[in-house]
Structure 1
Amino acid sequence: MSFFNKILASVGIGAVQVDTRLEKSAYYPGEDIRGVIHITGGNVEQNVDKIYIKLMTEYTRESNDKKYSESFTLAKIRASDKLIVQPGEKLEIPFEFPLPLETPLTLSRQPVWLRTGLDIENAIDPKDRDFIEVTPHPYAAVVFDAVSKLGFRFKEATCEYHSRLGRGIPFVQEIEFYPGREFAHRVKELELIMHLERDGLSVLVEVDRRGRGLSGWLEQSFDMNERHAWLTFDSSDLEKGADHIAGLLEELIDSKTR
């Protein structure tokens, strides 16, 4: 019977089971993720080479006028070394690691998940998948509040391939806003790309301004109507609050829509 149980376990029947349970479901970039990996032994003894956790997301890449979704590993954590799991044995392995600053926010159903896996020789590796919510870091929250104070409304967020702007990862998260009444006659759309740092935040602000007259038509025809610039806020800037940041953003938008 043991021989046949081993054969079945090698294809995942009666094998080790893994279940990752997180301390909570929502985190912001830079915050520590804590949880426990629960392992339950199957019908036979199995040797586990290692237990790992991958933090994963997706981004869109365009090729030959077609768009493709690609998965990307933001971080990989080794949760244990080799161990032997006995039949029916229950193990608990705690883990903790910081959510990378590059982790995209889960706006517009952007997926971010943990994939827990066990490396077992000559067998299908058991896996577990746990989606998490990624909320704005306190620095980013100040910028979002500032944008709202200027009357802009959230439109959508997308993760797009961009090797140059990605800063170590192959994509950026583009966050788009509709203008409110004050800017509606000048701005079609406001787009932000944020790069979170330990002591502040860099924001690429792109203003898609409305064309006016012949010059506006020419700008739209030649894709010249988008204006962009970098704003860098250190912690002292952000501690001054959303009103201060809104003033700086308004100055920039005004300068790009004259």
Structure 2
Amino acid sequence: MSFFNKMLASVGIDAVQVDTRLEKSSYAPGEDLKGVVHISGGSVDQKVDGIYVKLMTEYIQEKDDRKYNQSYTVAKIKVSDGLHVKQGEKLEIPFQFPLPLETPLTLSRQPVWIHTGLDIDYAIDPKDRDYIEVTAHPYAAVVLEAVSQLGFQFKGSTCEYHPRLGRGVPFVQEIEFYPGPGFSEVRELELIMFLEHDGLSLIVEVDRRGKGISGWMERSFDMDERQGRLMLDDQDLQQGPAYIAGILEDMIIRQAS
């Protein structure tokens, strides 16, 4: 093979290419994500030191009164050790791994994607990006249905930088709701959910609708926001959304009063 072709391959032109194909496009945290990495050899033989896939997302971080989107690797999985890919060769490498419980839901267009790459000396790393939908884990689904049964309506969701609150990741996902008709004292409800293998913990924040001068002062000093914490184990969640709705209703009423 000519020196020219080797030089082209070293800068990523007509080099080894990867294409990851997932078994499906929608997953819930804790579920096994399965796929196959398809490898196509380029114009020259190339040594690949390793193949990896990353589960990635973004969060918002505020600095100097400006907000920035930061990419974050939730998990990195090595699919293959070193191999020698011959000119024009076709290879397929299957993989699977459980979607981490910290993976955010893809609400409000929250991006979550699989990034595939190769470790190749002195070369531009070929990259492949596949976006996925992340749906609610069964535990989270019970809580979200309970909120809906109370009449709250989804408003929006963001992943915000919060390294102290985040469990294993530097962010938390805040899910906001408009108040239901029976909660006139509530301006907004916000949930932060932390999945466990045997349950789910919650931060429940109520933004109260203050009245008059006292209400204005509360809003000015962020005193109109009240937080509560709640731990729901598997036994609680197995009793269904109506049972969880009763627990949440009592907490919200106490915080709003």
The TM-score, its normalising length taken from structure 1, stands at 0.98
Matching of residues 116-195 of structure 1 within 5 Å: 116-183=116-183, 185-195=184-194
Whole-angstrom CA distance in 2 between matches of 1:12 and 1:111: 27
TM-fit CA distance, 1:246:
0.2
Separation (CA, whole Å) in 2 of partners of 1:193 and 1:257? 18
Counterpart check, 1:102 vs 2:138: no
Structure 1 residue 215: Cα displacement: 2.4
1:3 Cα deviation from its structure 2 partner: 1.5
How far off is 1:223 after superposition?
Answer: 1.0
Q: CA deviation at 1:198?
A: 0.2
Report whether the alignment pairs 1:13 with 2:18. no
Match of residue 87 from structure 1:
87
Partner of 1:219: 218
Q: In structure 2, give the amino acid aligned to 1:144.
A: L
**What is the rounded CA distance, in whole Å, between the counterparts of 1:206 and 1:147 in structure 2?**
13
2:30 aligned residue: 30
After superposing the two structures, state which structure 1 stretch, 162-171 or 215-224, moved more.
215-224
- In the TM superposition, what whole-angstrom CA distance separates every residue of 1:179-235 from its partner, at most 9, and x where no partner exists? 12111x210000000000000000100000100233222211221000110011000
Match of 2:200 in 1: 201
Name the amino acid aligned to 1:222: F
Root-mean-square deviation (Å): 0.8
Aligned length: 257
State the secondary structure of the residue aligned to 1:193.
strand
Deviation at 1:53, TM superposition (A): 0.6
> Unpaired runs of 5+ in structure 2?
none
Q: Secondary structure at the match of 2:252?
A: helix
Secondary structure at 1:254 match in 2: helix
Match of 2:209 in 1: 210
1:228, 1:179 → 2: CA distance?
16
Q: Which runs of 5+ in 1 are unaligned?
A: none
Structure 1 residue ranges (4+ consecutive) displaced by more than 6 angstroms after TM superposition: none
| CA distance, structure 2, for counterparts of residue 231 and residue 248 of structure 1 | 9
* CA deviation string 1:121-151 (max 9, x = no partner): 1111111011100000000000000000000
The letter of the residue matching 2:254 is S
Shift of 1:14: 1.3
- After superposition, the C-alpha distances for 1:64-105 in whole angstroms (9 at most, x for unaligned) are 111111111100000000100001110000000010000000
**SS class of match (1:78):** strand
Tell me the residue number matched to 1:238.
237
CA distance in 2, matches of 1:114, 1:123: 21
Distance 2:186 2:113 in 1: 35
Letter in 1 for 2:44: V
**1:147-186 Cα shifts (integer Å, max 9, x gaps):** 0000000000000001111122111000000012111x21
The CA distance in 2 between the partners of 1:160 and 1:83, in whole Å, is: 40
1:242, 1:9 → 2: CA distance?
57
2:50 alignment counterpart: 50
Q: Which residue is 1:254 aligned to?
A: 253
Q: Distance in 2 between matches of 1:245 and 1:191?
A: 16
Distance in 2 between the 1:43 and 1:217 partners? 69
Name the structure 2 match of 1:69.
69
In 1, Cα distance between equivalents of 2:86 and 2:2: 13
Determine helix, strand or coil for the equivalent of 2:118: strand
